Structure 1
Amino acid sequence: IGRGPAGVVSCRHLVEAGHEPVVFESGSELGGIWAPEPTNKVVYSGLVTNLPTVCMQSFDFDFASGLPSYVRASDLGRYVVDYAEHFRLRHLVRFGASVTHVDALRSEERDQEGADGEATWRVRWKHHPESAGKGLRTPEHSEDVFDAVVVASGHYDTPYEPEVPGQAAWLAAAEAPGQRTVMHAQRYDRPEQFAGRVVLVVGGRSSAGDIARELR
């Protein structure tokens, strides 16, 4: 479940071990949060990796030559796409398929499903034809059974946004609608959107440092 770096690498090694994996991806391109725009809605435009390419690349597939050690998000996204193309994995991906439920099957359910061997998982997903490909028409909901499930969906879809004491009153005290805003770093893209405004960055990890530097 997921076609970012972890999902793509898992798929490659499952194939090499003789399995026939299916990859579910809700978007329209490989790469996870690093996927090229407009698929990617998470990574801000100015992001540069905080690890060098030699630490991120596969032992048997290098980044394209000529890139700096610390690359832009788009370069990392291109690497994931190139990796999948190199190992011929794209045909295994069901684009536009968002997994909604994964359920363990009881023994009697396995018999009813006609599942072979140790198939013990029912996966339900919702189709998004606009992400699956131009002109593609598929049922809105589907399900299938699998022997095993690899969860590689990442942990950036749902941001943590705590309610800070006094925040609601501060927003309500604005002189005009939209004059005061609170937003998670996930929705940040470019510094121009804050031109002429006073900004407080809460946090001290990688995203906070990057965004504060861009806003100077």
Structure 2
Amino acid sequence: MDSNHCAATMIEKDVVVIGAGISGLVTAKCLKDDGFDVVMLERSGDIGGLWTYREDDYGVMKFTHINVSKYNYAFSDFPFPDDVPDFPHNKDMCKYIHDYAEHFKLSKLVQYHFMVTSIEQIGEKWRVTGKQSKPGSQGEGQEVTYVSQFVAISTGHHAKPTWPKIKGQESFPGRWYF
């Protein structure tokens, strides 16, 4: 089976990265640089996470500027252009993130409009299942499963979490970290 064929119901990858915001992009870039076969699963139609303005979804407001210097917020291997202000507007941030993804050829690793519905460990591997969620698309509602050695959850702390059901969680007295 061709591991890159989108119509397949089961696709094998070394690593599945969930989320294509800043954390997901950096994670995928480092893994790709180390020779891993990576896919990023992104629920929206664009990369950039909260830095991509969306009228009716989480993320930045139209007037948001970053509150730290671009020199402190830049990717270590991809500096901001000199003509970008020291405290960039969200449009500058979004362009910078897109330029980073383009420069390191990360966009081709992203499956857009993909809603992850479950993550299960099966022996030594992980099974990540989800659905194509772009309304009106040819594959809308199609369930796809990725099988991988590793999963990196890079959804950020602004996304609404979905807590997994774990046997015995009701009686666990400690604190949870997900």
- What's the TM-score bracket when you normalise by the shorter of the two chains? 0.7 to 0.9
Relative contact order, higher structure (CA 8 A, sep 6+): 2
Which deviations, in whole Å up to 9, do the C-alpha atoms of 1:32-91 show, x marking residues without a partner? 011244586421111111111111112221112211111111211111111000001111
What residue ranges of structure 1 are gaps of 5+ in the alignment?
A: 107-117, 160-216
* Structure with bigger gyration radius: 1
Percent identical among aligned pairs is 28
Is residue 142 of structure 2 the alignment partner of residue 140 of structure 1?
yes
Aligned residues of 2:44 and 2:112 also touching (Cα < 8 A): yes
> Which of 131, 156, 162 in structure 2 is aligned with 1:126?
131
State the Cα distance separating 1:157 from its structure 2 match. 2.4
CA distance, structure 2, for counterparts of residue 67 and residue 33 of structure 1: 19
Aligned residues of 2:52 and 2:60 also touching (Cα < 8 A): no
| Cα distance change, pair 4–46 in 1 and its aligned pair in 2 (3 A) | same
Paired positions, count: 144
> Which stretch shifts more, 43-52 or 146-155?
43-52
Amino acid in structure 2 at the alignment position of 1:145? V
CA distance, structure 1, for counterparts of residue 159 and residue 110 of structure 2: 20
**Which secondary structure does the structure 2 equivalent of 1:157 belong to?**
coil
Aligned residues of 1:23 and 1:92 also touching (Cα < 8 A): yes
| Cα distance change, pair 156–124 in 1 and its aligned pair in 2 (3 A) | same
CA distance, structure 1, for counterparts of residue 118 and residue 97 of structure 2: 27
User: What residue number does 1:211 align with?
Assistant: none
TM-score, with length taken from structure 2: 0.73
User: What residue number does 2:102 align with?
Assistant: 85
Is residue 67 of structure 2 the alignment partner of residue 43 of structure 1?
no
More strand by proportion, 1 or 2? 2
CA distance, structure 1, for counterparts of residue 131 and residue 112 of structure 2: 11
Matches within 5 A, 1:204-215: none
Aligned residues of 1:36 and 1:78 also touching (Cα < 8 A): no
More helix by proportion, 1 or 2? 1
Which deviations, in whole Å up to 9, do the C-alpha atoms of 1:91-132 show, x marking residues without a partner? 1100010111111113xxxxxxxxxxx4x11101121134xx
Aligned residues of 1:6 and 1:152 also touching (Cα < 8 A): yes
User: What residue number does 1:19 align with?
Assistant: 36
**Which secondary structure does the structure 1 equivalent of 2:127 belong to?**
strand
Amino acid in structure 1 at the alignment position of 2:25? V
User: Structure 1 runs of 4+ off > 4 angstroms?
Assistant: none
User: What residue number does 1:68 align with?
Assistant: 85
**Which secondary structure does the structure 2 equivalent of 1:147 belong to?**
strand
CA distance, structure 2, for counterparts of residue 39 and residue 7 of structure 1: 22
Aligned residues of 2:116 and 2:131 also touching (Cα < 8 A): yes
TM-score, with length taken from structure 1: 0.61
CA distance, structure 1, for counterparts of residue 104 and residue 95 of structure 2: 14
